[in-house]
Each structure stands twice: as C-alpha cells, then as structure tokens.
Amino acid sequence: MAAADWGGKADHLAGERATAQFDVDGMKVAWAGSRHAVEVADRMACLVASDPVFRKDTRTMLSRKELFKDTLKKAAHAWKRTVELHLTEEEANLLRLYIDQPGYVDLHWVMFVPAIKGQGTEEQQKKWLTMAYKFQIIGTYAQTELGHGSNVQGLETTATFDPSTDEFIMHSPTLTSSKWWPGGLGKTSTHAVVYARLITEGKDYGIHGFIMQLRSLDDHSPLPGITIGDIGGKFGSGAYNSMDNGVMRLDHVRIPRDQMLMRLAQVTREGKYVHSDVPKQLLYGTMVYVRQTIVADASRALSRAVCIAVRYGAIRKQFGSKAGGPETQVLNYKTQQSRLFPFLASAYAFRFVGQWLKWLYTDVTQKLESKDFSTLPEAHACTAGLKSVTTSATADAIEECQKLCGGHGYLNSSGLPELFAVNLPACTYEGDNVVLLLQVARFLMKTVSQVASGKQPVGTTAYMGNIQHLMQCKSVVNTVEDWLNPAAIKEVFEARALRMAVNCAQNISKAPSQEEGFSELSPDLVEAAVAHVQLIIVTKFIEKLQEDILGHGVKEQLQKLCGIYALHLIHKHLGDFLSTGCVTARQGSLANERLGKLYAQVRPNAVALVDAFDYTDHYLGSALGRYDGDVYSALYKEAWKDPLNETVVPDGYQEHLRPLLKQQLKLSRL
C-alpha cells in the first residue's frame, strides 16, 4: 500500500496548537530577535526548501564521494542564486544555513575571511578579500596539526624568513607538524591562512598567520612542495562527511614576505621582527569570533532536536487505554516532560545568551578599533565559556532526544542521528570544551585575586564585587512560589558561582606553587567555570524578560521557560548548591516541586513553543518532526527510499544466501 493512502493533508497536531495560551507570531519575533529577522529567515528557508538542488532526504544514503560532489553542487548553486538574486550578506548567510550541509564555504566565510580581516593590513585585506568575496579564490584556516590542536603555541610548522629572496620558507619539519583537520583543505581550498612559527635572524618568534596559495587556479593541482589530501571518513552517515577536512605537508614552499599577515607584527625587508603595540592575543581573534557564532549554532541545533521530540511526543501514544479508549500521548508522561522540557527551556536560554554574546562581540570589536583592549579578557572568557557550556549541553540533549523518540529516533529518517553527528564535534573544534573552561577558570582566579586586593570587577564578573554579601547570604526562599522570584534565583546562582571560585582560589593558595595548585584543582576549576557560565545564561534570560516583549502571553511563557532553565540546573547541580551552603535541602526540594508545576503549565503550550522556532520541514529534515504530525506515513515513505529496497531480492542473494539455504536444506534432508 502506498504511504499516501494513509496520509491526508490533515494537521495531526491541530489539537495541540489549539491549546496554546500565547501568540505564536509574537514568540517567533522574540526568538528571531526582530520582525525583520523572522521575515528574512522565512524567505531564505522557503527559497532553499523549494529548490530541488537543495534536497537532502537521501543524503545519509550517499557514498562519501557522492556526498562530497553533492556538497560541491549545492555550494555552487547557492553562489549562483546569491549572485542572481543580489542577496545581501545577511540573506546569503541564511541561505547557507538552511542548506544545512557542512562544506568548504563555511570555512571560507567563517574563518578565512575573518582571519584576513582581523590580522591583515589594509593593503592585504584589499588584495585578498577582493578575490575572496568574489570566490575567485577559496580559503581555509589551517592551524591544527597532527600532533597539536589545543596547544596552539606547540605548533611545529615553520616559516623561516630568507632575506636573500625576501621570502618565507614554509615547512613541515616532522610528521606531527602535518596540518590536520582544516575544513575544505582536503580537496577544495585554493588558499589558506596557515599558522606557523616565524623564524627570522635565527630567532623563533612563535605562531603567526601566513596566506598561502595551495592549488593551481588553472587545474586545481597542488603547488610544488605541497602534499595534500582528505583525512578520511568521520562519525555518522552523511553528517560532517560532506566536509573535506584535510591533511597537508609543506616541503620548503616559498611565499613572498608580504603574505605574512602583518597587522599585529611585521618582518621588515631586512628581516627585523617588529611587534605592533597591540596585545598578541589578537592573533586568536578569529577563534573568538567563531566561538561566538557557535553559541547561536548550538541553540539552533538544540531547538531542532527539541522540535522533533516535542512534536513526535504529541503524536506517539503508548499504554493507558481503558476499554478501547485512546492510549496516552507519550508527551503526557511526567518522566518525558522532566527530560524534555529543560531542553526546550535551554534552547530559548541559549538563543538569548547568543544574541547577547553577539552584541558583546560587536562592542568589543568597536573598542578594539579605537585601541581600547580592556574588555578583551572578558570577551575571551565569555566566548570560550559559553561555547563550551552550550555545545556540551546541546550534544547531550540531542542524544537524549533520540532516546525520547524511542526506536524511531534511531532511524536516519528521524533526522536526529545526523543532527547529533554534525553537532558533536562542536564540543571539540574551536577549542576543546574542557581546555576552554580552564581558560574561564583562569580568568575567574585572576578576578578573585583582584577582588581580594580591592579592585571592583566589571561586566559578567561584577557580581564578585558583592563578595561580603554573597559569601554568607542565605536564600530567602521559603515556599514553592518564592522560586518564581528572579532576584531569589539570581542570588543563589551568584552565591554558588562565587563560593566555588573562592574555594578553588583558597585551595590553590595552599599548593606549593600557583601552577601546581591550578593543575591539581583543575576538575574543581572546570566546575567553577561551568557555575559562572550558567549564571551568565540565567542572568541574560532574566534580563531578556525585562525587555519590551510584544504578543499576547509571550512574556508569560518565557518567564516559565526561564524558571525551568534555572530550576532544572538547581535540581541537576544540587550537590554544588548544598555543599556551598547556597540552598538548604528543603529549598532544593521546593525548587523541584516548582519545576513539576512549571512542566504542567508548559505542556499545553509545548507544540506551539517549538512552532515558534519557525523551521520548515525541509530544514528539520525529520519524519518525526513534521509540522503536520503525519509521522507514520512519512516514516513508511522514507523507508522505501533506502537503496536496499531498490530490489526485492537483495544483491548477494545468489552468492551468499542461496548457497547457504540450499546447503542447509540438503543437510536437513540427509
């Protein structure tokens, strides 16, 4: 029977939508940031969904080669449409996002171009960006090596200045110095910003960025002295395998001196090294920029998983039928709600903190342009910390959403396995999450010591200045309703973060040296960093609620979600809150009681709350998460697309199945 025989055009989720107590359009605006953002996103999502070239429903069934070629095709088509339709930068970025297939263009726009913008002189920008903006060259960001990724200062590739020819000699001295991982490097990029140790006048000046041409612009073959290829298949079907992450070895490749990115430091014609009067950490500027964008990616990925699990949970029924009556929607089970609704709340929380982080980044960039570097450490700590906490939580949540969808969640057609596989590496790329949390911890330890010497901290650590109160305060919560008070919530998060940081600082001071103490206490420091970052997320959610939020019932729903986000963290990390004396066991159980009530209040709004993400069925790419809820027809239809179903009798029957069956049959007749 054909799937269409079962599926109609009916909205199987209409009943769910009818119970919503708020204006979904208003929530779309709150989620997207503005009415304009909703409108542009809608237009670009529809453009992608209606174009057959951007089809992705059979992507997980393609071989690696087919998938790669499909990615090249999509990228070229996207560029063609961008030019034909004169898309703005905002529109073109959204177009790329909704195509939803990692590829070389991501590295080109998100890392190569920003690296040149941030580290190139005006002259270099003019030369290289002009070509990059027109796709006359394709660039990547080649930093990580086979032997070192996290420890950037440990990279081994060398760039030795030769004054006799006014060139740098780029070289990979060891196997472990091979560049390894850069996206688009394997098969596509014609150019790269390559990070290497600058050596001039016999002295090693550490890591700097250099623009290198890698492949011929005529026939795409690697230039002499460059060995280059793909590093091999990665986790999951489809997923990140569309990206040609690459390996590259350099054998004394010469490039002109003016291809060193010279905004932060220069090498003169004579070979003198000159450093500008800017902090050398600006070399890491591209990573700060990208980490900030990854927070927005995390909220998007999480919201997609939640959208799938909520809609499916409203359709899927198990148990509970009495005398032939309907079974229970699995979304009505309290266990399902307590697992799923914190993710729904987290998706909104990450979205809002991502919007704030974008503002922070813009603000810091403007300050840097006027040579004010004072907010750089805070920008580094916030981007590193938020990137870590949001990507780890998102990867865990997508995996859990797969379980929340039962067996069908494990099918590629649910969209969840691919979503997990694509987002899991975000915990590692742009800085391993633990390594980055240790950077946050280092910033916190510095701030604690500044507070001890009487300095008033600012920005996201301003709360630490309230040390007298926060070190000894007791939560005012006495009833379940008291946990509705944002000030009470914020205070316990502040007290927990500060007390954990101060405990670490005190314990470090007992160690023989600061370094030994930091290393010994690093697991505690990571937890203190997480507490600080969670405080930022909670605070930014609370601040969002103080804005003008339009639309009937929208603010009320967001207040509930904010409560769920904060209280589920108290429940999950109760050990921290108890051991630091920020809440009592009774207050902890009141928080849990409040949480249960909030779940019940969110339940009738759950489907509408995921509708507000405004995702097309194309972008969601899930038989379980379809807008119309026609899950079973979709699953049935998707199954028949599998290459195994191309023939009724499978390939291999004649060689392997038939002889086996025949032989066994013969034996049984003996």
Ligand X SMILES: CCC/C=C/C(=O)SCCNC(=O)CCNC(=O)[C@H](O)C(C)(C)COP(=O)([O-])OP(=O)([O-])OC[C@H]1O[C@@H](n2cnc3c(N)ncnc32)[C@H](O)[C@@H]1OP(=O)([O-])[O-]
* Residue ranges in contact with ligand FAD by CB under 6 A: 107, 141-144, 148-150, 181-183, 240, 245, 425, 428-432, 434-435, 438
Q: Please choose, out of 283-291, 333-341, 515-523, 556-564, the segment that lies near ligand X by the rule CB under 6 A.
A: 283-291
User: If you search the block for the tokens 């898309």, which residue do you land on?
Assistant: 87
Q: Which of 19, 50, 88, 150 lies at the binding interface for ligand X (CB under 6 A)? A: 150
* SS3 at position 158: strand
Which residue, 439 or 587, has its beta carbon nearer to ligand X? 439
430 binds ligand X (CB under 6 A): yes
CB of 567 to ligand X, least distance (A): 33
- Which strand (E) or helix (H) includes residue 662? helix 658-669
Helix (H, G, I), strand (E, B) or coil at 463: helix
Task: Single out the residue of 287, 416, 569, 602 in contact with ligand X (rule: CB under 6 A).
Answer: 287
Cα separation, 576 vs 589, in Å, equals 14
Which listed residue (110, 137, 495, 631) binds ligand X by CB under 6 A? Answer: 110
- In contact, 92 and 77? CB cutoff 8 Å: no
Is the separation of the CB atoms in 87 and 43 below 8 Å? no
Choosing from 430, 491, 527, 638, which is the catalytic residue?
Answer: 430
By a kind-dependent CB cut-off of 5 to 8 A, residue 152 interacts, out of ligand X, ligand FAD, none, with: ligand X
104 binds ligand X (CB under 6 A): no
563 binds, among ligand FAD, ligand X, none (CB under 5 to 8 A by kind): none
> What is d(CA 476, CA 586) in angstroms, rounded to the nearest whole number?
12
Q: Which helix (H) or strand (E) segment is 65 a member of? A: helix 64-84
Distance CA 571, CA 565 (A): 10
Dist CA 208 CA 408 (whole Å): 49
**167, two tokens:** 């060139």
CA distance 313 to 406: 10
Please calculate the CA angle 60-64-68 and round it to the nearest 5 degrees: 95
- The interface partner of residue 394, options being ligand FAD, ligand X, none and the CB cut-off 5 to 8 Å by kind, is none
> Considering only CA atoms, which of 149, 379, 127, 371 is closest in space to residue 261?
127
Of the candidates 534, 528, 480, 530, the one whose C-alpha atom is nearest the C-alpha of residue 346 is: 534
Cα–Cα distance between 351 and 372 in angstroms, integer? 28
Give yes or no for a contact between 447 and 461, defined as CB atoms under 8 angstroms apart: yes
Q: Nearest 5 degrees, angle CA 222-CA 223-CA 228?
A: 40
Cα separation, 305 vs 422, in Å, equals 12
What percentage of the chain's residues is helix, strand, coil (to nearest 5)? 60, 10, 30
Q: Which residues in 372-391 contact ligand X (CB under 6 A)?
A: 376-377, 380
240 binds, among ligand FAD, ligand X, none (CB under 5 to 8 A by kind): ligand FAD
Q: Does 209 sit near ligand X (CB under 6 A)?
A: no
Query: Phi then psi for 328, rounded to 5 degrees?
Result: -85, 135
* Binding-site member from 141, 168, 210, 619 for ligand X (CB under 6 A): 141
Interface with ligand X (CB under 6 A), residue from 284, 356, 483, 493: 284
Closest Cα to residue 74, out of 90, 91, 98?
98
Strand 203-213 relative to strand 265-267: parallel, antiparallel, unpaired?
unpaired
Q: Which is nearer to ligand X, 41 or 115 (CB)?
A: 115
Shortest spacing between CB 246 and ligand FAD, in angstroms: 9
Residue 397 binds which of ligand X, ligand FAD, none (CB < 5-8 A, kind-dependent): none
Minimum Å gap between C-beta 373 and ligand X is: 9
Could you give the dihedral angle defined by the CA atoms of residues 112, 427, 279 and 160, in that order, rounded to the nearest 10 degrees?
Answer: -60
Candidates 229, 253, 139; CA nearest to 180 is: 229
By CB under 6 A, what part of segment 605-624 binds ligand X?
none
Annotated binding residue at 391? no
- In angstroms, the CA 407 to CA 420 distance is 16
Characterise 551 by phi-psi region: left (phi > 0), alpha (psi -120 to 50), beta (else): left
If you ran DSSP here, which 8-state letter would residue 584 be given? -
Q: Which residue number, 103 or 313, has a Cβ lying nearer to ligand FAD?
A: 103
Q: Among ligand FAD, ligand X, none, what binds residue 395 when CB lies within 5 to 8 Å by partner kind?
A: none
Token duo for residue 327: 């079974």
Q: How far is the CB of 431 from ligand FAD (least distance, A)?
A: 5
Please check if 160 is assigned to a binding site: no
* Nearer to ligand X among residue 415 and residue 431 (C-beta): 431
Q: Which is nearer to ligand FAD, 428 or 589 (CB)?
A: 428
Cβ-contact 82, 51 below 8 angstroms: no
Q: Which is nearer to ligand X, 180 or 565 (CB)?
A: 180
- Residues binding ligand X: number (CB under 6 A): 25
376 binds, among ligand X, ligand FAD, none (CB under 5 to 8 A by kind): ligand X
**Which of ligand FAD, ligand X, none binds 434 (CB below 5-8 Å, type-dependent)?**
ligand FAD
Among 82, 143, 178, 605, binds ligand X (CB under 6 A): 143
Q: Which is nearer to ligand X, 449 or 601 (CB)?
A: 449
Indicate which single residue of 101, 140, 144, 587 sits in contact with ligand X (rule: CB under 6 A).
144
Contact 148, 177 (CB under 8 A): no
Cβ atoms of residues 6 and 532 within 8 Å: no
Q: Which of 101, 200, 439, 447 binds ligand X (CB under 6 A)?
A: 439
Contacting residue, 385, 415, 431, 588, with ligand X by CB under 6 A? 431
Q: Annotated catalytic, 430?
A: yes
Cα 276 to its chain centre, rounded Å, is 33
Tell me the closest approach of the beta carbon of residue 380 to ligand X, in angstroms. 4
| 118 touches ligand X by CB under 6 A | no
Q: Compute the least distance from the CB of residue 246 to ligand X, in Å.
A: 12
Options 29, 62, 288, 298; binder of ligand X; rule CB under 6 A: 288
CA-to-CA distance for 142 and 535, rounded, in angstroms?
34
Q: Does 153 bind ligand X (CB under 6 A)?
A: yes
Is residue 193 close enough to count as binding ligand X by CB under 6 A?
no
Please report how close the Cβ of residue 418 comes to ligand X at its closest, in angstroms: 17
Shortest separation between residue 177's beta carbon and ligand X, angstroms: 15
| Binding site feature residues for FAD | 144, 183
> Where does this chain bind ligand X (CB under 6 A)?
106, 110, 141, 143-144, 149-153, 183, 281, 284, 287-288, 290, 376-377, 380, 429-431, 435, 439, 442
| Binding site feature residues | 144, 183
Active site residues: 430
